Amino acid sequence: MDPEALKKYSTLHPKPAGVTLQYGTAGFRTKAEHLDHVMFRMGLLAVLRSKATVSTIGVMVTASHNPEEDNGVKLVDPLGEMLHPSWEEYATQLVNAEEQELQKTLNEICQKAGVNQHKDASVFIGRDTRPSSEKLSQSVIDGISVLGGQYHDYGLVTTPQLHYMVCCQNTQGQYGKATLEGYYEKLSKAFAELIKQSPSSGESQRHWKIDCANGIGALKLSEMEPYFPKEVLIHIYNDGTKEKLNHLCGADFVKVHQKPPRGLDMEPNERCCSFDGDADRIVYYYKDATGRFHLIDGDKIATLISIFLKELLAKMGQTLQMAVVQTAYANGSSTRYLEETLKVPVHCVKTGVKHLHHKAQEFDVGVYFEANGHGTVLFSKAAESTVRQLAKEEKDGERREAAKVLENMIDLINQTVGDAISDMLVIEAILALKGLTVQQWNAIYTDLPNRLLKVQVADRRVIDTTDAERRAVTPSGLQEKIDALVKKYKLSRAFVRPSGTEDVVRIYAEADTQENADALAHEVSLAVYHLAGGRGAPPQP
């Protein structure tokens, strides 16, 4: 480590006074103009992480579904997973270190993490389409270069594509080729094989309407289009040529506002979907003949995938252990359907993709989705080799065919992280193979009416939770109050949890009617306001 070079480069990327940031599930995210020093230092950290793991590490410059003027950065670990929690702390330390402490902080991290500084370092970089992303990724490159790391800049890619590249590279190509062509070829080949088997294969055109949030998804989907089977016609809306990223469009907008994105004309009963700004989330929706809007969120996506995988495993005669992982925000109807009708075990974990991903790794087949549309399916090494072997060698025709379908599913799913493009192809393949319409998919179960609220508090840390955030431990008396309120309504539940980013407490309530869900949410918000130090005027119904 050359102290002079570090000092020289560090002054080119100075830390603004009074800015402190925390590395969370989404990495670092804030206004783009406050991020130059962060990017430089994440370049430094990526080199150390690469030396520590003796692997290639990814750095993705994106702020996902945030407004266009924001930006952010997250690191990708060797198998395409999110950064290890102990390194999240190092990231926070490094970004908040004063200029003159930088060398010392780097040395401390090397010592704590046992980094061998003589190892080579290799970093993959990707960025989204924000106006600030190119300059910020250059700052990352400065950080990598000053510590002598090698890098490959993929330029404009979706977040899941960068995760995929990192995994391909570190599995020496076993997971696939670490190029965009490799990604397009692997996914489109698996998809084409699957829809060949569908009842209506080749007969009719398949029209897909996709809102790409004016983001990177539009660019990459157009690049991928020539790889799709001839009968697939994609219509991209909000492609980024006219409007601002995530403005009145994208998966987050549709989920929160429960209405279609701007610029997309929907025919009755026509299925449409929306990606978010960096294409790692997807939601579906349609309007019925009366013009009513229906959202199909991550819970329903997980259910559709689970039904399909369970049927395949049964056809193969396999007793592989399958489970679905959800958070407390999952609609109670989905949990009930999965457990009682489908007889698939459901596990609830704390909010945040890393918790879901980690839990899903415990099973042969682990399906996880957040209600917001971020999710994927993980297959254990043993399960995957069983499936591939059966697809090759199984004597029984029906079992072998089922194994082939599952083998193609495994290739179509991006197991590193939620991926809107991959998830869309998985969903479209399942709907085609099962001959389901969007209305039939939506009718698998009916969501319980629910309401999300937030209450401003002086200090969010007064609320502590347990049981995967479903019960409040402090302040005392709050959980008892919530329990009493829940008893007043049918099919009801409610929970509160502190926000990870601001001094607010988030409240979720569901009940048999919208009126009751609203009333319960309001009463719980009053309890939080009075018992947890609410700020400003009390919540109004």
- What CATH number corresponds to the domain at position 101? 3.40.120.10
Q: How confident is the model at residue 492 (pLDDT cuts 50, 70, 90)?
A: very high
In this structure, the answer to whether residues 342 and 415 fall within a common structural domain is yes
Name the active-site residue from 10, 64, 122, 422: 64
Residue set of the binding site for substrate: 370-372, 497-501, 506
Choose the final residue of a domain: 378, 403, 419: 419
Last residue of a domain, one of 156, 191, 222: 156
Q: Do 288 and 305 fall into the same domain?
A: no
29 and 124 housed in the same domain = yes
Stretch 4-25: mean pLDDT? 91
Residue 64 is among the residues annotated as catalytic for this protein: yes
Sequence-distant (6+) residues with CB within 8 A of 237 are 209, 210, 211, 212, 249, 261, 263, 264
pLDDT band at 198 (very low <50, low <70, confident <90, very high): confident
Closest CA to 419 of 468, 368, 455: 368
For residue 17, what are the contacts with CB-CB under 8 A and spacing of at least 6? Answer: none
Do residue 289 and residue 306 come from a single domain?
no
Calculated CA dihedral for residues 48, 51, 53, 54, nearest 10 degrees: 160
| Contact call for residues 28 and 21 (beta carbons, < 8 A) | yes
More confidently predicted of 24 and 316: 316
How many domains does the chain fold into?
4
Residues 52 and 134 in one domain: yes
Instruction: Identify the domain containing residue 415 by its residue range.
Output: 298-419
Asked if residue 275 and residue 312 are part of one domain, the reply reads: no
**235 pLDDT above the threshold of 60:** yes
On whether both 382 and 399 belong to a single domain, the answer is: yes
Burial class (CB in 10 A: 0-12, 13-18, 19+), 230: exposed
Question: Residues comprising the binding site?
Answer: 64, 276, 278, 280, 370-372, 497-501, 506
Query: CA-CA distance, 247 to 213, in Å (whole number)?
Result: 7
Q: Are residues 57 and 85 in the same domain?
A: yes
- What CATH code is carried by the domain that includes residue 274? 3.40.120
Q: Are residues 232 and 202 in the same domain?
A: yes
pLDDT higher than 60, residue 202: no
CB atoms within 10 A of CB 8: 11
Specify binding-site residues for Mg(2+): 64, 276, 278, 280
For the sheet containing 150-156, what is the strand order? 28-31, 70-76, 56-61, 122-127, 150-156
Threshold 0.85, pTM exceeds: yes
pLDDT at 502 over 80: no
Domain boundary pick from 278, 296, 314: 296
